[in-house]
Structure 1
Amino acid sequence: MLGRRERRQRAENALARLRSVLGLALGAAVGGHEQALLHKRQLEFERAVQRIGLAKATRDREIAEQLTDPALAPVWERITRERDDSYAEWRRDGLGAVRELVAAHTPGPAGQPWQEWLGTLGTDPGVRSPRLWRIGTAHVEHESPEHGFPLAVPLLEHAHLRLNSARGNRTAVDSIVETLLLRLLSTFTPGLVRLHLWDIGHLTGPLPNLHPLTAAGLLVVHDPTRLDDLLALLAGHIRKVHANALRAGRTTLKDACAAAGRRVEPWRVAVLFGNGERLDEEQYRELNRIARTGPDAGVHLVLVDMPVSASSPLETVTFTDAEQASSSITGPGVVVRADPPVSASVASRAAAAIRDDMVVRRGRPRSFIDLLPRVLGQESSREELRTVIGFDEGDPIELVLGDATPHALVAGPSGSGKTNLLYAMLGGLAARYSPRELELYLLDFKEGVSFAGLTPGTKDPSWLPQARLVGVNVNTDREFGLALLRYLSQELARRAEAAKRQEVTKLAELRDAEPEVSWPRVVAVIDEFQALFSGRDQITQQAAALLEDVARRGRSQGIHLVLASQDIAGIEAFWGKPAVYDQCTLRIAMPKAKRVLAQDNLAANTLPRWHVVVNHDSGISHGNEVAHVPDASSRGTFDELQRRLWREVESSAPRLFDGAHQPSLLTTAEFATPRGPVLGQIIDVADRAAVLRLEAAPGRNLAVLGTATEDALAVLASSALSLGRAYAPGECEFEFWCHVESLRDNVLAVADALHRRGHTVRTRFDASIADMAEETCPGKRFVFFYAVDGATQLLERKEVGAVQSGLDKFRSLLKHGPAGNVHTFGWWRGVARLKDTLGFGGNDDVGAWVALDVQGSELNQLAAGQLVDWSPRPHRAVFFDRTTHSRPDVLIPFDPTSALEER
């Protein structure tokens, strides 16, 4: 019984203890809960104070009511105590640091009071911009303004600025905008900052003190009803700047300016005054696109009462009344005030001074010298070729040939200034790039000598050092244009092979891989290039194929085409090769030019004379830049630059091909050291003559075909005189046969010239022609038979009792003579007459021929199965040697006069 009571007592005691513990725990929980609720109230109170700021909290009715709660009073005391401590620390350390920071990043007009700089002209070249621009002052609420600091915001190259005015009062906002714009204009050289103003509520334009700038084009006030036009203008400019930067291998305009060491494009600052209402959806989207992409392209917005997305780099100042504002850069609790406004008269005079300076700069007529750099020949063509081509209201407009714009298409009717443009381009390039950086190949298909002055002349011995080839009067010699394209294709293959060897893909990389090798950029200028496609023949087909190949692959290997024409609309073969047109992303349109720009781009229609549209974006309208091109072709312009470069730069003279002049035999290199008979000048990039290979082998005779007497005599004379130089007296002998009396004087002149050199020369002008020479000779014997078909009757006559006629003997001479060192040079006035002379199976006895006024269809049977695409023209010939040629060479017969007179 006792044991049971004891156990019960212990159980009751344990239960009592449990009740006590549970009571204590419950009490602690209630107390903790109450403490947590109190702490929560204190935190919420502190948060509310911080949210609205301590200064505003002292005036806030709700905060005042909460302070009657004894539990919140300690929080208020702590906040005010910390504020006092922070303010003391701020006054001691922070305020000075902020002032120093702003001063360091707002040099000159960017941060100084306007009284210290307004009215003076800016001199900063604009390579880099101040990071911050002062707009007013700021101080912590409930602090004295003397403890304030200057407030500056980022703008150029960094951000945009948004200003929200107090309802019904825009005075402070207008003051900030006007002073800020004057700071920008007064910091940089006039012209480096361009302003656009748009105000939804002002027909006459806002900020009247700045309107003097409109006369110099530094300020454009836009129609309040045409916001779309302004947004399209800014968007197009952003696209153009980005395209130019990418062509230069940069991602932003800032990088492009830093690389160039100068401002390559002015800043555009657009000030838009709204009414607080959001724009329509399309305008709002376009404005936000400009805000996002503008800073990298040098386009910045100053928005007044204009809602815009916060996703762009944007600083905001919002006025709560006529004088006070808050800003995003300082946060809540800081009062912002605008600086005192600029005096209206002083602001107007400052704007007028900037305008006048700009007018003076532009008022001076731009000349050729303005296209040139201060120091000649110092730029590298590793990445691209760049030169100033003209000016837009005093601002330079550049032309770029590089990876992004590899080729250029130039179009303009006669008299529009196309030749002057080409000289401006060539002068600018030659002044910037040495011959090691740039090689020029220049062809002019029209009748004239526009490029001839780039080579040595009788009056001016200078030449353009960068020029390697100059072709003028090439209008009838399309083969020369074809030869240039073939040369460029070969050079392209050579560079591609070197790039493959070095495992690179671009010229810049190849130059880095092989610095010891000269890899200049090549520019081929072909004026009136449509002449290449003027016929439906093999030349047109081959030229179109080669042009397409060079246009497509030249980009990566630094070979650039500049194709100029009066009108490219009707070039059938050219339009059949869209790859050529597509690769010509640089388009230059003279006044009234057709088809060179995009179809809907009509900018060329309204151009004044001596102006051009330069477009690096395949002719699309937003890429248009209008430039006035200075006079570059008058005396004292390009010619003076050429003479200066010629004196200062070591180079070899370029080759001149002049289709209007017959080359002199005496001056050709092959005549100076002949290896055989020189027949004529080959129409080719290389300055070389056609030389017939003579050896003791069958068929080593030459036939001259055609009725063009002057040219036939020139070919025969050149052959004889060059052989006279190739052999010493006694090593060979000459025989001249001619039965045509009218040719006698010419034959005797050639014979006399050879005789003066000591050679044995025999002539036949009578019936003795029919008595053939011996078919073998211990030395060399050269028989020149003039007008063979004119002596047919003599050759066909057979003496009584004779086994062979003279014609039989002549055929035997042609067949067996070459093996016996006897070679015949004969002139027949037609293919049929040659075949009559040779007889059946005799074609192989004449292994080479020069045809003059003979149609190609007649020559096919003599060309060993080759198709001869040849149309005769004056003073031109086609040469074919079946032992060496896969296709005929077109020749210009030499003028042998000076060689005949040589003593």
Structure 2
Amino acid sequence: MLGKGERRQRALDALDELRKALRLALGAAAARRQNAQTTKDQLEFEQSVMQLGLSRARLDPHITELRGRPALARTWDKVIAERDELYRGWHPEGPGKLRALVAQAADGAAGLPWPDWLGKVGTDAGGTAPELWRVGTAVVEEAPVHDEFPVAVPLLDRAHLRVNSAQDGRSVVDSLVESLLLRVMSYFRPGLVKVHLWDIGHLTGSLPNLQPLTAGGLLTIHDPTRLDDLLADMAGHIRRVHAKAMREGETSLRSVCVAKGERVEPWRIVVLFGNGERLPDEQQRELQRVARTGIDAGVSLICVDVPLSANSPLETIVFTDPQNATTSMTGPGVRFRPDDAPDGSLASRAAATIAQDLIARRGKPRTFDDLLPPRLGTHSSRDELRAPVGFAEGVPVEVVLGDATPHALIAGPSGSGKTNFLYAMLGGLAARYAPSELELYLLDFKEGVSFAGLAPGRKDPSWLPQARLVGVNVNTDREFGLALLRFLTEELARRADAAKRQEVTKLAELREADPEGHWPRIVAVIDEFQALFGGRDRITQQATVLLEDVARRGRSQGIHLVLASQDIAGIEAFWGKPAVFEQCTLRIAMPKARRVLTETNNAAFSLPRWHAVINHDSGVHHGNQVAHIPDASAKGTFDRLQTRLWETWQSAAPKLFDGAHQPLLADASDFDEPTGPLLGQVIDVGCRAAVMDIDAVPGRNLAVIGTATADALAIMESITFSLARRHPAGSVDFSIWCAVPALRERVTRLAKILTAIGHSVDHRTDEEIADLVPASGERPRYILFFAVDSAHQWLERKQPPAMRSKLDDLRALLKNGPANHVHTFGWWRGVGRMKETLGFGGVDDIGAWVALDVQGAELNAIAAGQIIDWSPRPKRAIFFDKSIHSSPDVIIPFDTVGTE
């Protein structure tokens, strides 16, 4: 056993060993900590040097002090060695490569020295913009040789630019911005770039050498207190351009322009001069939104001393002193200097040259011919219809009808130029789309003939080849507008059925699936369309339903409505039914127009004459485009185009419905080979004749009812002439009876015409009518009885010995005659008089009737249970055939003058 002293010694030895191990461990830890701290100091020192740049770091007192420490001195030497190694590789090739890069990416005025381009007018059409724009030169501060190379920044369609000035260095920044803008303006054809200038500290005076651009509208100086308005205008412009690009099937304005090979919308450069402080929160947020979305819409920002950070490409130039700066394109180790700016007078003259060129080109009067393409009918309507209607600062402004903007609403008070606008639009469309691509249905409800010239006339035999129907003076014939809507609804159903068979949904897809089919786009123009809804009646109810249906479904089937009105404020039929107006996303407001745009959009109130607001965004303010509309209705404008189109395409003439004129019987489509007696022209899209079926069955007689003598005679004569034309001469017998002396001359003339044709005529007047019952047989006989009620004094006489009246014979004739090929066409001057003639139950023997100046309520008793909604109008009648009609057709009696 160890003694007590030995154990104590061992314990002390172990404790010494432990102390020794601890001293070694603590020493190693301290050494490692010191090494880590030294490494950290070296890295932080290297980072500081790199951030400052070697040249500035050499002069920096804090860096100089740190270089006195051995560890950091070694780091300094390492950075110098690395720099020397880097610059040995940079110097021979670097500047040359950068010069070549800038020369390639910034051609012409975008990169050349200003003496090479200043004062010259650009010619580039703006399909694409240069990738870079030169702003100055730079040198690598620590390079062995200060070999300058050009510095250029992206701008249009690619990035925004932020410039921070140094104290007392604003003039240098002004020169840089001015030179950059002059480069851009001198590169493109004048008018393709527009500059908006806002300076927080100046009402005027910013960039004074560019002031001549204001004369051509290329430079707009904004009130320093109205930045909100500028940002709102740009936001609205961005939304409008984005919507336009989407309609083109593209995602940005740049891609639209690349596809077309030219600039379709000017670039906007917004230059903001601030004071280094952040804008108020709402303005800052709006500026950020413009920065984020503007590039795709052709809007670029140049912000001077305006804090900006955007989720979009943004380059910066930061001045460290009035002459030197760093840029995000080159990094902190490169010293940038702006190019020397041209003398102020030279810059001012160059700006004036650009503005004057634009003014001179705009000064050329914009006429209707400027709306027309070089070649007629070369466009396809597969996806949409597009045509210019006017000009904004010399640039064409288009209307588009397609899936995105299916229907148009046009408003303007009398004399505002609405009709002229319609002609400009129709001319632009007709010149671009052949009749196989576009069909027009044109209806004018006001008392006028706005569209009459589009159909053949006595003075001008030409017509608009795309027009399939022209309706004028329709102000009292609301049924014609209803008929047009029915036709469009039927066409919608036809196209929908075809699309279903082809398993497609849109017109463009249907045309691709059925290339041999005839599927043009249809545009129905209804001027003063509110007349359709002028009464609280059946027409208003039906028109409302049909118009909503066409408006809702027409977009997919290529059927477009253009609804025009002097004032749409009072259309009661649409109160609470916004379906039509919501579909009319294309809005056109003439000067002083009301309610066509949104309630807060008052752009139309201040429009000068010959101008219009074109808005493809349902009338909201940001969609406004103000266009000058050239004269399209004067002699030598639309009429000359129509003649060219007529000579180019020999299409069928459009049907013409003129509510102010009676159609000629001889011109009726069924007159040459009538299938039955023609009564008048039905008010419908086909302008067809009303024809009665006269098969050998009971009831096939007709009554003409009313006191309108001229119209009644016209209908009776139309019946006679069409029946005479239906049968070969001598193959049919006519009986013409008239007991009114005042009508005898005209009726006698009718009988003589039939005799001259070769038909057998039984012509009776006065008491001779008492012997009215003709022999019946297989040979057809038609009885034309004029003013039946005037013969009652003879018809009611009873003859002995049977004491039977000729009225009984007439009733028997009406009852039994049709089955024996004997048909009676009688004219009574009132419903009550007709009932008196027919007797109890005799109404059933009149299978059809035409009513003239008779109120609808009087006709209900002879309408087979139908409720007749009819108010008499001059030169109009209603035709009801119990065998085919559920409601009467409104007809226009034919003009029979000259018919034989």
What band does the TM-score fall into relative to the shorter chain? over 0.9
* Contact 1:575 1:581 (C-alpha < 8 Å) held by counterparts: no
Q: Using the alignment, how far apart are the partners of 1:144 and 1:842 within structure 2?
A: 122
Amino acid at match of 2:741: E
What is the Cα deviation at residue 803 of structure 1? 4.1
Q: Secondary structure at the match of 2:898?
A: helix
- 2:56 aligned partner: 56
What amino acid does structure 2 have at the position aligned with 1:706? G
Paired residue type of 2:446: K
Q: Deviations over 1:793-814 (max 9, x none)?
A: 1111111213421000010000
C-alpha contact (below 8 Å) 2:140/2:146 kept by paired residues:
no
Find the aligned partners of 1:845 and 1:721 in 2 and give their Cα distance. Answer: 24
Query: Contact 2:585 / 2:616 at 8 angstroms: preserved in 1?
Result: yes
Larger CA deviation: 538-547 vs 253-262: 253-262
Structure 1 residue 854 displacement after superposition? 1.1
Q: Distance in 2 between matches of 1:757 and 1:173?
A: 99
1:205-238 Cα distance to aligned partner (Å, 9 max, x none): 3011111111111111122222222222222222
* Aligned AA (1:208): P
Query: Aligned partner of 1:805: which letter?
Result: S
Match of 1:627 in 2: 627
Which whole-Å CA distance do the structure 1 matches of 2:102 and 2:753 have between them?
Answer: 92
> Retained in 2: the 8 A contact 1:544–1:577?
no
- Which residue of structure 2 aligns with residue 805 of structure 1? 805
Aligned to 2:180: 180
Asked if 2 retains the 8 angstrom alpha-carbon contact of 1:775 and 1:820, the reply is no
**Equivalent position of 1:530 in the other structure:** 530
Per the alignment, do residues 843 and 775 of structure 1 end up closer, same or farther by CA in structure 2, a change over 3 Å counting?
farther
Whether the 8 Å CA contact 1:438–1:466 is kept in 2: the answer is yes
User: Normalized against structure 2, the TM-score is what?
Assistant: 0.95
The corresponding residue for 2:702 is 702
Aligned twin of 2:890: 890
Paired letter, 1:846: I
Answering whether residue 356 of structure 2 is matched by residue 349 of structure 1, we say no
Aligned equivalent of 2:7? none
Q: Deviations over 1:812-863 (max 9, x none)?
A: 0000001111111111111111111111011110101111111111111111
| 1:475 alignment counterpart | 475
Q: How does 1:128-207 map to 2 (within 5 A)?
A: 128-143=128-143, 147-207=147-207
> Given the alignment of the two structures, is residue 562 of structure 1 paired with residue 562 of structure 2, yes or no?
yes
Query: Any conservation in 2 of the 1:326–1:334 contact (CA below 8 Å)?
Result: yes
Secondary structure in structure 1 of the residue aligned to 2:899:
helix
Task: Give the CA deviation at 1:71.
Answer: 4.1
- Where does residue 103 of structure 2 map in the other structure? 103
- 1:535-558 alpha-carbon deviations (Å, 9 max, x no partner): 221111111121121122222222
**What pairs with 1:574-585 in structure 2 (closer than 5 Å)?**
574-585=574-585
Name the CA distance, whole Å, in 1 between partners of 2:201 and 2:21: 78
Secondary structure (helix, strand or coil) at the match of 1:157 reads: coil
Contact 1:257/1:263 (8 A) holds in 2: yes
Could you tell me how far 1:418 is from its partner in structure 2? 1.2
Hey, what's the Cα distance between the residues in 2 that align with 1:304 and 1:193?
A: 20
Taking a change above 3 Å as real, the CA distance of residues 777 and 320 of structure 1, as seen in their structure-2 partners, is same
Query: Partner of 2:671: helix, strand, or coil?
Result: helix
Q: Which amino acid aligns with 2:868?
A: V
Residues in 1 aligned to 2:224 and 2:42: alpha-carbon distance in whole angstroms: 53
State the shift of 1:73 in Å.
Answer: 4.6
DSSP 3-state at the match of 1:642: helix
Q: Report the CA distance shift for 1:599/1:26 in structure 2 as closer, same or farther (over 3 A).
A: closer
Q: 2:144, 2:720 → 1: CA distance?
A: 108
2:368 and 2:186 mapped to 1: Cα distance? 30
CA contact (8 A) 1:114 1:342 kept: yes
Q: Determine the structure 2 residue equivalent to 1:671.
A: 671
Distance 1:73 1:235 in 2: 55
Q: What is aligned with 2:81?
A: 81
Q: Which residue of 2 aligns with 1:4?
A: none
Q: Which residue of 2 aligns with 1:256?
A: 256
- Whole-Å Cα distance in 2 between the matches of residues 133 and 480 of structure 1? 62
Deviations 1:312-369 (A, max 9, x none): 4211100001111001122210111100111111111111111111111222221111
- Cα deviation for residue 674 of structure 1 reads 1.2
Summarize the Cα distance change of 1:169–1:51 in structure 2 as closer, same or farther, 3 Å threshold. closer
Equivalent residue, structure 2, for 1:280? 280
| Aligned residues of 1:664 and 1:898 also touching (Cα < 8 A) | no
The 5 Å alignment of 1:226-625 reads 226-625=226-625
CA shift in 2, pair 1:258/1:520, >3 Å = farther
Matched AA of 1:589: A
Deviates more, 1:378-387 or 1:124-133: 378-387
The alpha-carbon deviation at position 39 of structure 1 amounts to 4.2
CA distances 1:231-258 after superposition (whole Å, capped 9, x unpaired): 2222222222223333333332223333
For 1:543-586, what per-residue CA distance to the aligned partner results, in whole angstroms no more than 9, with x for missing partners?
11211211222222222111111122222113353212222222
Per the alignment, do residues 145 and 252 of structure 1 end up closer, same or farther by CA in structure 2, a change over 3 Å counting?
farther
* 1:770 match: 770
Between the two proteins, the alignment pairs up a number of residues equal to: 896
How far 1:70 moved relative to its partner? 4.1
* Letter paired with 1:799: Q
- Closer, same or farther in 2 for the Cα pair 1:145/1:26, shift >3 Å? closer
What residue ranges of structure 2 are gaps of 5+ in the alignment?
A: 2-12
5+ long unaligned stretches in structure 1:
2-12
Secondary structure of the residue aligned to 1:849 is strand
Amino acid of the residue matched to residue 495 of structure 2? R
In 2, are the aligned partners of 1:427 and 1:641 still within 8 Å (CA)?
A: yes
Once residues 161 and 836 of structure 2 are traced to their aligned partners in structure 1, the CA distance between those partners, rounded to angstroms, is 94
Which residue is equivalent to 1:47?
47
Secondary structure of 1:671's aligned partner: coil
Distance 1:704 1:94 in 2: 101
Distance 1:144 1:123, change over 3 A: farther
- Cα pair 1:443 1:470 within 8 Å, conserved: yes
For the Cα contact (< 8 Å) 1:417–1:610, is it kept in 2? yes
| Pairs within 5 Å for 1:723-742 | 723-742=723-742
C-alpha spacing 1:28/1:597, structure 2 compared with 1 (3 Å):
closer
C-alpha contact 1:551 1:580 (8 A) present in aligned 2: yes
Report how far residue 619 of structure 1 moved: 2.2
The equivalent residue for 2:8 is none
Q: 1:29 to 1:286 in 2, by over 3 A?
A: closer
- Alignment map for 1:104-119 (pairs within 5 Å): 104-119=104-119
Deviation at 1:698, TM superposition (A): 0.3
Alignment check: 8 A CA contact 1:427 1:638 kept: yes
**Aligned-pair Cα RMSD in Å:** 2.6
The CA distance in 2 between the partners of 1:181 and 1:391, in whole Å, is 26
| 1:871 aligned partner, one-letter code | S
- The alignment partner of 2:801 has SS state of coil
In the alignment, the residues of structure 2 paired with residue 459 and residue 631 of structure 1 have an alpha-carbon distance, to the nearest angstrom, of 22
Q: 1:784 touches 1:824 (CA, 8 Å); kept in 2?
A: yes
Displacement of 1:29: 7.0
Structure 2 match to 1:9: none
How far apart are 1:729 and its partner, in Å? 2.8
Give the Cα separation in 1 of the matches to 2:841 and 2:310. 93
**Partner residue of 1:719?**
719
SS in 1 for 2:588: strand
Residues 50, 333 of structure 2: 8 Å contact kept: no
Deviation, 1:655, is 0.8
Aligned equivalents of 2:260, 2:635: Cα separation in 1: 32
Go from structure 1 to structure 2 and tell me whether the alpha carbon gap of 1:600 and 1:722 turns closer, same or farther (over 3 Å shift).
same
Counterparts of 2:619 and 2:454 in 1: how far apart (Å)? 31
Find the residue that maps to 2:794 and give its secondary structure: helix
Cα distance, 1:329–1:540 mapped onto 2, change above 3 Å:
same
**Matching residue's letter, 2:225:** T
More displaced stretch, 245-254 vs 521-530 = 245-254
Partner of 2:875: 875
Q: TM-score, normalised by structure 1?
A: 0.95
Deviation, structure 1 residue 56: 3.0
